[in-house]
Amino acid sequence: MKKTSTRLADGRELHYYDRRDDAVRDAVDRRPLDTISTSAEIRRDPLLGDAVAIASHRQERTYHPPADQCPLCPSGDGRLSEIPAADYDVVVFENRFPSLAGAEGRCEVVCFTSDHDASFADLSREQAALVLEAWTDRTAELAELPQVQQVFCFENRGAEIGVTLGHPHGQIYGYPFVTPRTELMLRSAAEHRERTGRNLFDDLVERERDQGVRVVLEGEHWIAFVPYAAHWPYEVHLYPLRRVPDLRALDEAARTEFPQIYLELLRRFDRIFGEGEPPTPYIAGWHQAPFAGAGRDDFGLHLELFTIRRTSGKLKFLAGSESGMSVFINDVPPETAAERLREVASE
C-alpha cells in the first residue's frame, strides 16, 4: 500500500491509498472554496447522560445529486469534485459537512472505489484489503489527536438508511467521548469479569461456536454469527477469533482472510430476499475500544452488519417501543435469520 497525503482547496486533509507503490498523486484541487466554517457542538442530556451533536450546517449538505455531478467521483471532463485526481483506488478526506469538528471531534469520508455504480460487495479481495488498511491507518492517526477518544468506521448503504450520496462510500467518526453503546459493552464486560473471572467477548464467541445454530460462516481467523438477542431482522456480528481491542492490533493472518469473509457476508445480504429484489440496505460498523480508560484490554473488536428490511418490500421501523424506550422488538428469530444467511451462500 502507498499512502499520499495532500490538502483540498479549503484546507481539509485528503489521503490517497493505492495498491501500487509507483502511483503518483500530484493533482491539485482547483475549486474556489472558502475555508470551512462549522457550527457543530456537543450537548449533554441531563436526564440520560448521553451526548447529542448539534450541527445545523449539515442542512446544506449535498442531497442526491445526479450521477454526473457526484462529488465523490474523480474529477474530469471539466467537472471538479472532492477528489482532484482523474482516478483512485481508495480515498479518505475530511467531511465538508461534519457532525463533529475541531475540539468536538472529527468526521471523515471514505470512498471505497472510483466506480460510481459499484458497491462494497462488488470489490475484489485486493480492493477490500486496501479499505481495511485505510480504516486501520485512519484509526491510528486519529488516535493521536487529543480530542478523539474513540473511532467508529462505518458504512450506511441505501436510500432507506438515509444515504444522500449514491457513490460507494463510508465514514469515520472520531468521537471526543466514549459513546453510550460502548460504555454499555464495557460495563457488561466488567460485570462479567467480576462475576466469572473470564472475558465476556471470549465467552460470547465460544458459546456461539459451541451451539452453532446462529453461526453464518467461519474461517480460520474470523467467525460471523447472528447474535442471540439480535435487535434487527437480519443482523450479523463478525469477530476475529483472536481477540484484539481495535483494528491496529489485527495480525497479518486475520487481515489476509478478512476480505474473503466480509465480501461473502455482504453478497449474502444482497441475496436474502430473493431474485429481483433491490440491493439490501444496511449499516455496517466497526466497534473498537476507546483509546484510554478502564476496560480497554477486555474489549473485543468486532463488526456489526444489519439491515432494516424485515421482508420483501417491508422495513423495520423504530416506532414507540424502540424509539421511546429503547426496547427492540424483532420479527425474525435469530436462528431463522442465520439459517437463511446460510442458505444463500455462494457456491
**What CATH number should be reported for the domain whose range is 180-343?**
3.30.428.10
Q: Are 177 and 149 in contact (CB under 8 A)?
A: yes
Task: Tell me the pLDDT band of 63, cut-offs 50, 70 and 90.
Answer: low
Q: Are 226 and 337 in contact (CB under 8 A)?
A: yes
Q: Pick 101 or 263 by higher pLDDT.
A: 263
263-269-272-277 Cα dihedral, nearest 10 degrees: -110
Task: Tell me the pLDDT band of 197, cut-offs 50, 70 and 90.
Answer: very high
CB atoms inside a 10 Å sphere around CB 219: 16
Span 114-123, pLDDT tens digits: 999 999 999 9
Q: Are 223 and 215 in contact (CB under 8 A)?
A: yes
290-119-107-180 Cα dihedral, nearest 10 degrees: -40
Instruction: Identify the pLDDT of residue 59.
Output: 67
Lowest mean pLDDT among 53-57, 68-72, 126-130: 53-57
pTM over 0.85: yes
Task: Tell me the pLDDT band of 103, cut-offs 50, 70 and 90.
Answer: confident
Maximum distance among all alpha carbons in the chain?
64
Task: Tell me the pLDDT band of 78, cut-offs 50, 70 and 90.
Answer: confident
Nearest C-alpha neighbor of 231 from the set 181, 186, 193: 181
Span 29-44, pLDDT tens digits: 999 998 877 778 899 9
Domain residue spans of the chain: 2-175, 180-343
Q: Has 169 been annotated as catalytic? A: yes
Task: Tell me the pLDDT band of 258, cut-offs 50, 70 and 90.
Answer: very high
Span 137-178, pLDDT tens digits: 999 999 999 999 999 999 999 999 999 899 999 999 999 999
Q: Are 288 and 245 in contact (CB under 8 A)?
A: yes
Nearest C-alpha neighbor of 151 from the set 134, 131, 133, 174: 174
Is the pLDDT confidence value at 190 over 70?
Answer: yes
Mean pLDDT of all residues in 330-342? 97
Is the pLDDT confidence value at 128 over 80?
Answer: yes
DSSP 162: T
**What CATH number should be reported for the domain whose range is 2-175?**
3.30.428.10
Is the pLDDT confidence value at 250 over 80?
Answer: yes
2-175 shares its CATH topology with 180-343: yes
Residues above pLDDT 90, as percent of the chain: 89
Selecting among 15, 169, 237, 302, the annotated active-site residue is: 169
- HEC profile for 246-279? CHHHCCHHHHHHHHHHHHHHHHHHCCCCCCCCCC
Task: Tell me the pLDDT band of 277, cut-offs 50, 70 and 90.
Answer: confident
Mean pLDDT of the residues in the chain: 95
